[in-house]
Amino acid sequence: MTEHLSAAPIGKPTSYSRVTLSKIMTAVDVNLYGTVHGGVLMKFVDDVAGAAAARHSGGTAVTAAIDEIVFSEAVRVGDLVHAHAQVNWTGQTSMEVGVRVVAERWDSAEDAAVRVATAYLVFVGVDVGGAPRVVRPVLPETAEDERRYKEAEIRRAHRLARRRAIQAHREG
Ligand SMILES: CC(C)(COP(=O)(O)OP(=O)(O)OC[C@H]1O[C@@H](n2cnc3c(N)ncnc32)[C@H](O)[C@@H]1OP(=O)(O)O)[C@@H](O)C(=O)NCCC(=O)NCCS
Protein backbone atom coordinates (compact mmCIF):
# COMPACT_ATOMS: atom_id res chain seq x y z
CA MET A 1 0.00 0.00 0.00
CA THR A 2 1.36 3.42 -0.93
CA GLU A 3 2.08 6.29 1.44
CA HIS A 4 -1.02 8.29 0.57
CA LEU A 5 -3.19 5.30 1.47
CA SER A 6 -1.72 4.60 4.88
CA ALA A 7 -1.86 8.32 5.75
CA ALA A 8 -5.51 8.59 4.82
CA PRO A 9 -7.67 6.33 7.03
CA ILE A 10 -10.81 8.42 6.65
CA GLY A 11 -10.84 8.51 2.87
CA LYS A 12 -13.31 7.02 0.41
CA PRO A 13 -12.45 4.41 -2.22
CA THR A 14 -12.32 5.56 -5.84
CA SER A 15 -15.40 3.50 -6.68
CA TYR A 16 -17.52 5.56 -4.25
CA SER A 17 -17.24 8.59 -6.54
CA ARG A 18 -18.07 6.83 -9.81
CA VAL A 19 -20.97 8.37 -11.72
CA THR A 20 -22.36 7.73 -15.21
CA LEU A 21 -24.64 10.06 -17.17
CA SER A 22 -26.28 8.90 -20.39
CA LYS A 23 -28.05 10.83 -23.12
CA ILE A 24 -29.30 10.33 -26.67
CA MET A 25 -28.00 13.14 -28.87
CA THR A 26 -30.62 15.05 -30.87
CA ALA A 27 -30.78 17.59 -33.68
CA VAL A 28 -30.49 20.53 -31.24
CA ASP A 29 -27.01 19.28 -30.20
CA VAL A 30 -25.35 19.58 -33.61
CA ASN A 31 -22.85 22.03 -35.10
CA LEU A 32 -22.86 23.41 -38.65
CA TYR A 33 -21.32 20.17 -39.95
CA GLY A 34 -24.12 18.01 -38.58
CA THR A 35 -22.12 16.29 -35.84
CA VAL A 36 -22.51 16.95 -32.12
CA HIS A 37 -21.10 20.31 -30.97
CA GLY A 38 -17.99 20.13 -28.77
CA GLY A 39 -19.58 22.55 -26.30
CA VAL A 40 -22.51 20.18 -25.77
CA LEU A 41 -20.07 17.41 -24.87
CA MET A 42 -18.07 19.78 -22.64
CA LYS A 43 -21.17 20.63 -20.61
CA PHE A 44 -22.00 16.93 -20.36
CA VAL A 45 -18.43 16.26 -19.15
CA ASP A 46 -18.58 19.10 -16.61
CA ASP A 47 -21.96 17.87 -15.31
CA VAL A 48 -20.82 14.29 -14.72
CA ALA A 49 -17.47 15.39 -13.27
CA GLY A 50 -19.25 17.77 -10.89
CA ALA A 51 -21.50 14.95 -9.71
CA ALA A 52 -18.47 12.72 -9.00
CA ALA A 53 -16.67 15.53 -7.15
CA ALA A 54 -19.75 16.35 -5.06
CA ARG A 55 -20.29 12.70 -4.19
CA HIS A 56 -16.66 12.16 -3.19
CA SER A 57 -16.40 15.37 -1.17
CA GLY A 58 -19.85 15.09 0.39
CA GLY A 59 -20.85 18.62 -0.56
CA THR A 60 -20.56 21.40 -3.06
CA ALA A 61 -17.61 21.42 -5.44
CA VAL A 62 -16.90 23.93 -8.21
CA THR A 63 -14.98 23.55 -11.45
CA ALA A 64 -11.59 25.23 -10.98
CA ALA A 65 -9.99 24.17 -14.26
CA ILE A 66 -10.27 21.85 -17.21
CA ASP A 67 -6.81 20.40 -17.59
CA GLU A 68 -7.42 18.58 -20.83
CA ILE A 69 -10.23 17.49 -23.11
CA VAL A 70 -9.67 15.39 -26.18
CA PHE A 71 -12.37 14.62 -28.74
CA SER A 72 -11.24 11.42 -30.43
CA GLU A 73 -14.29 10.58 -32.60
CA ALA A 74 -17.29 12.56 -33.84
CA VAL A 75 -20.66 11.97 -32.17
CA ARG A 76 -23.78 11.84 -34.34
CA VAL A 77 -27.46 12.50 -33.81
CA GLY A 78 -29.12 9.40 -32.40
CA ASP A 79 -25.98 8.08 -30.69
CA LEU A 80 -26.48 6.96 -27.08
CA VAL A 81 -23.64 8.66 -25.21
CA HIS A 82 -22.40 7.63 -21.76
CA ALA A 83 -20.05 9.80 -19.68
CA HIS A 84 -18.24 7.91 -16.89
CA ALA A 85 -16.50 9.96 -14.19
CA GLN A 86 -14.44 9.21 -11.10
CA VAL A 87 -12.24 11.13 -8.69
CA ASN A 88 -8.68 10.14 -9.61
CA TRP A 89 -6.73 12.18 -7.11
CA THR A 90 -7.28 14.47 -4.12
CA GLY A 91 -5.20 17.28 -2.65
CA GLN A 92 -6.13 19.39 0.36
CA THR A 93 -9.21 21.02 -1.12
CA SER A 94 -8.97 20.05 -4.79
CA MET A 95 -9.76 16.87 -6.70
CA GLU A 96 -8.91 15.69 -10.17
CA VAL A 97 -11.85 14.04 -11.92
CA GLY A 98 -11.29 11.86 -14.98
CA VAL A 99 -14.10 11.48 -17.52
CA ARG A 100 -14.41 8.91 -20.29
CA VAL A 101 -17.15 9.47 -22.87
CA VAL A 102 -18.30 6.62 -25.10
CA ALA A 103 -20.97 6.41 -27.80
CA GLU A 104 -23.21 3.56 -28.86
CA ARG A 105 -23.83 4.26 -32.54
CA TRP A 106 -27.52 4.54 -33.33
CA ASP A 107 -27.09 2.50 -36.54
CA SER A 108 -24.82 -0.24 -35.12
CA ALA A 109 -25.99 -0.59 -31.55
CA GLU A 110 -24.71 -4.17 -31.27
CA ASP A 111 -21.09 -3.06 -31.80
CA ALA A 112 -18.90 -2.09 -28.87
CA ALA A 113 -19.25 1.51 -27.71
CA VAL A 114 -16.66 3.87 -29.22
CA ARG A 115 -14.59 6.18 -27.03
CA VAL A 116 -15.36 9.72 -28.22
CA ALA A 117 -13.77 11.93 -25.58
CA THR A 118 -11.47 11.92 -22.56
CA ALA A 119 -11.15 14.76 -20.06
CA TYR A 120 -9.45 15.69 -16.81
CA LEU A 121 -10.93 18.43 -14.65
CA VAL A 122 -9.98 20.00 -11.34
CA PHE A 123 -12.76 20.63 -8.83
CA VAL A 124 -12.45 22.40 -5.49
CA GLY A 125 -14.71 21.60 -2.55
CA VAL A 126 -16.29 24.79 -1.23
CA ASP A 127 -18.26 25.77 1.86
CA VAL A 128 -21.49 27.80 1.89
CA GLY A 129 -19.48 31.00 1.52
CA GLY A 130 -17.65 29.64 -1.55
CA ALA A 131 -14.31 29.27 0.29
CA PRO A 132 -12.23 26.13 -0.32
CA ARG A 133 -12.82 23.36 2.25
CA VAL A 134 -10.74 20.29 2.99
CA VAL A 135 -11.88 17.19 1.10
CA ARG A 136 -11.36 13.60 2.25
CA PRO A 137 -8.66 11.63 0.47
CA VAL A 138 -9.49 9.25 -2.35
CA LEU A 139 -8.23 5.70 -1.81
CA PRO A 140 -7.29 3.94 -5.06
CA GLU A 141 -8.45 0.32 -4.98
CA THR A 142 -7.11 -1.26 -8.15
CA ALA A 143 -3.88 -1.09 -10.15
CA GLU A 144 -5.74 1.05 -12.70
CA ASP A 145 -6.88 3.46 -9.97
CA GLU A 146 -3.27 3.68 -8.77
CA ARG A 147 -2.09 4.43 -12.32
CA ARG A 148 -4.69 7.19 -12.66
CA TYR A 149 -3.70 8.62 -9.27
CA LYS A 150 -0.04 8.83 -10.29
CA GLU A 151 -0.86 10.28 -13.71
CA ALA A 152 -3.02 12.94 -12.02
CA GLU A 153 0.02 13.89 -9.94
CA ILE A 154 2.04 14.26 -13.16
CA ARG A 155 -0.64 16.52 -14.66
CA ARG A 156 -0.71 18.62 -11.47
CA ALA A 157 3.09 18.97 -11.43
CA HIS A 158 3.06 20.07 -15.09
CA ARG A 159 0.24 22.55 -14.47
CA LEU A 160 2.06 24.13 -11.53
CA ALA A 161 5.37 24.22 -13.43
CA ARG A 162 3.69 25.87 -16.44
CA ARG A 163 2.07 28.47 -14.19
CA ARG A 164 5.43 29.24 -12.54
CA ALA A 165 7.17 29.50 -15.94
CA ILE A 166 4.55 31.90 -17.31
CA GLN A 167 4.71 33.98 -14.13
CA ALA A 168 8.51 34.15 -14.37
CA HIS A 169 8.26 35.14 -18.05
CA ARG A 170 5.83 37.96 -17.24
CA GLU A 171 8.10 39.24 -14.49
CA GLY A 172 10.94 39.30 -17.04
C1 LIG B 1 -11.89 27.39 -7.40
C2 LIG B 1 -11.80 28.42 -6.28
C3 LIG B 1 -12.79 28.04 -5.17
C4 LIG B 1 -10.38 28.39 -5.72
O5 LIG B 1 -10.33 29.40 -4.76
P6 LIG B 1 -8.90 30.04 -4.32
O7 LIG B 1 -9.16 30.97 -3.21
O8 LIG B 1 -8.18 30.49 -5.54
O9 LIG B 1 -8.24 28.76 -3.73
P10 LIG B 1 -6.74 28.46 -3.33
O11 LIG B 1 -5.74 29.31 -4.05
O12 LIG B 1 -6.71 28.43 -1.84
O13 LIG B 1 -6.60 26.96 -3.87
C14 LIG B 1 -7.48 25.96 -3.42
C15 LIG B 1 -7.21 24.70 -4.20
O16 LIG B 1 -7.62 24.91 -5.55
C17 LIG B 1 -6.56 24.59 -6.42
N18 LIG B 1 -6.65 25.52 -7.53
C19 LIG B 1 -6.89 26.83 -7.50
N20 LIG B 1 -6.87 27.36 -8.74
C21 LIG B 1 -6.62 26.34 -9.58
C22 LIG B 1 -6.47 26.22 -10.98
N23 LIG B 1 -6.58 27.27 -11.79
N24 LIG B 1 -6.20 25.02 -11.49
C25 LIG B 1 -6.10 23.95 -10.69
N26 LIG B 1 -6.22 23.97 -9.35
C27 LIG B 1 -6.47 25.16 -8.81
C28 LIG B 1 -5.29 24.81 -5.61
O29 LIG B 1 -4.22 24.05 -6.13
C30 LIG B 1 -5.72 24.32 -4.25
O31 LIG B 1 -5.68 22.90 -4.21
P32 LIG B 1 -5.24 22.10 -2.85
O33 LIG B 1 -5.97 22.72 -1.70
O34 LIG B 1 -5.71 20.71 -3.09
O35 LIG B 1 -3.76 22.21 -2.76
C36 LIG B 1 -12.14 29.87 -6.81
O37 LIG B 1 -11.14 30.27 -7.73
C38 LIG B 1 -13.51 29.94 -7.47
O39 LIG B 1 -14.52 30.02 -6.78
N40 LIG B 1 -13.53 29.92 -8.80
C41 LIG B 1 -14.78 29.99 -9.54
C42 LIG B 1 -15.35 28.57 -9.70
C43 LIG B 1 -16.53 28.57 -10.63
O44 LIG B 1 -17.36 29.47 -10.60
N45 LIG B 1 -16.61 27.53 -11.49
C46 LIG B 1 -17.59 27.43 -12.52
C47 LIG B 1 -18.92 27.01 -12.02
S48 LIG B 1 -18.91 25.56 -11.01
Domain ranges of the chain: 3-170
Instruction: Determine the Cα–Cα distance for residues 100 and 77; give it in Å rounded to an integer.
Output: 19
How is residue 113 annotated by DSSP? P
Instruction: Answer for the pair 98, 83: CB distance below 8 angstroms, yes or no.
Output: no
Q: H or E segment at 122?
A: strand 114-125
pLDDT in tens, the chain (172 residues): 333 434 444 899 999 999 999 999 999 999 998 999 999 999 999 999 999 999 999 999 999 999 999 999 999 999 999 999 999 999 999 999 999 999 999 888 788 999 999 999 999 999 999 999 999 999 999 999 999 999 999 999 999 999 999 999 999 8
CA end-to-end distance (rounded Å), the chain: 44
CA 131 to ligand 1 center in whole angstroms: 9
Query: Going by CA atoms, what residue is nearest to atom 3 of ligand 1?
Result: 132
Q: Does domain 3-170 have CATH number 3.10.129.10?
A: yes
64 within ligand 1 shell (Cβ under 6 A): yes
126 within ligand 1 shell (Cβ under 6 A): yes
Q: Which residues have a Cβ under 8 Å from the Cβ of 12 and sit 6 or more positions away? A: 56, 136, 137, 138, 139
